[in-house]
């Protein structure tokens, strides 16, 4: 049975604040690993994600993002395992709170080349390393739940609040000024 694409028409305004993501995994039990990719701008660890796509179901769009961002082939689960929120910086410089629906993606193959190769770093990690590697507390907890692992309390950082849009704007301005002055920020 083929799943029909979700119509984007009436819900289009809501989709501007919603993304879909693949949670790439391989192995089983003690050999279970999660793949994280670096974001292009901030270089923090994330999972492949993007905006819903016209004429594609949300799981199919998440699988497409896994290919574009990490060169992955695999089997995507049709049901989301949860969601999380993060502050997305738009091209305009504006920051917007976005909700991300996450779909498990069992990786069966990796391509030699893919659309965003060279723009991101890829890293297979244990579930605990992956959960502790992401910045968003809700994504950290989602990864731990998916993998069935408990995060050590002493290693589990307190949930950090996402930066406000004003703070994000100041950080971008600081980077631009630093670049213009020819100094590197440490």
Q: What is the CATH number of the domain that holds 139?
A: 3.90.79.10
The total number of structural domains in the chain stands at: 1
pLDDT at 11: 41
Q: Which residue did the predictor score with more confidence, 183 or 98?
A: 98
**Confidence label for 16 from pLDDT (cuts 50, 70 and 90):** low
Q: Does a structural domain hold residue 7?
A: no
Q: What is the DSSP letter of 30?
A: G
pLDDT at 186: 47
Q: Rounded distance, CA 88 to CA 95, Å?
A: 5
Contact 83, 143 (CB under 8 A): no
Q: Does a structural domain hold residue 4?
A: no
Task: Classify residue 29 by burial, with Cβ atoms within 10 Å: 0-12, 13-18, 19+.
Answer: exposed
Q: Structural domain of residue 118, as residue ranges? A: 12-160
Query: For the whole model, what pTM was predicted?
Result: 0.75
CA 107 vs. chain centroid, Å, equals 16
Mean pLDDT on 49-63? 96
Q: Does a structural domain hold residue 55?
A: yes
Q: H or E element: which one contains 180?
A: helix 165-181
Mean pLDDT, rounded, of the chain: 84
Q: Does a structural domain hold residue 174?
A: no
Q: Does a structural domain hold residue 6?
A: no
Residue 161 has pLDDT above 80, yes or no: no
Q: Does a structural domain hold residue 182?
A: no
Residue 20 has pLDDT above 70, yes or no: yes
Q: Does a structural domain hold residue 45?
A: yes
Q: What is the DSSP letter of 32?
A: -
Among 16-20, 93-97, 178-182, the minimum mean pLDDT is found in 178-182
Q: Which residue did the predictor score with more confidence, 166 or 100?
A: 100
Sequence-distant (≥ 6) Cβ neighbours of residue 119 within 8 angstroms: 40
Residue 182 has pLDDT above 90, yes or no: no
Q: Does a structural domain hold residue 63?
A: yes
Q: What are 128's two structure tokens? A: 């605990």
Q: Which residue did the predictor score with more confidence, 16 or 119?
A: 119
pLDDT at 151: 84
Percentage, residues of the chain above pLDDT 70: 79
Q: What is the DSSP letter of 118?
A: T
């Amino acid at each position: 049975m083929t799943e029909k694409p979700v119509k984007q028409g009436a819900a289009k305004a809501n989709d501007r604040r919603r993304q879909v993501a693949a949670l790439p995994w391989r192995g089983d039990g003690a050999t279970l690993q999660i793949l994280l990719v670096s974001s292009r701008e901030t270089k923090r660890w994330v999972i492949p994600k993007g905006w819903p796509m016209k004429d594609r179901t949300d799981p199919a769009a998440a699988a497409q993002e896994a290919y574009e961002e990490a060169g992955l082939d695999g089997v995507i689960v049709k049901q989301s395992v949860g969601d999380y929120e993060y502050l997305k910086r738009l091209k305009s410089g504006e920051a917007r709170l976005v909700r991300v629906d996450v779909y498990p993606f069992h990786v069966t193959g990796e391509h030699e080349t893919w659309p965003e190769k060279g723009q991101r770093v890829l890293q297979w990690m244990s579930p605990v390393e992956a959960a502790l590697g992401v910045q968003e507390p809700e994504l950290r907890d989602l990864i731990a739940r998916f993998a069935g692992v408990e995060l050590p309390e002493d290693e589990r950082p307190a949930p950090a609040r996402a930066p406000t849009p004003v703070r994000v704007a100041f950080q971008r301005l600081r980077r631009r000024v630093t670049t213009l002055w020819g100094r590197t920020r440490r």
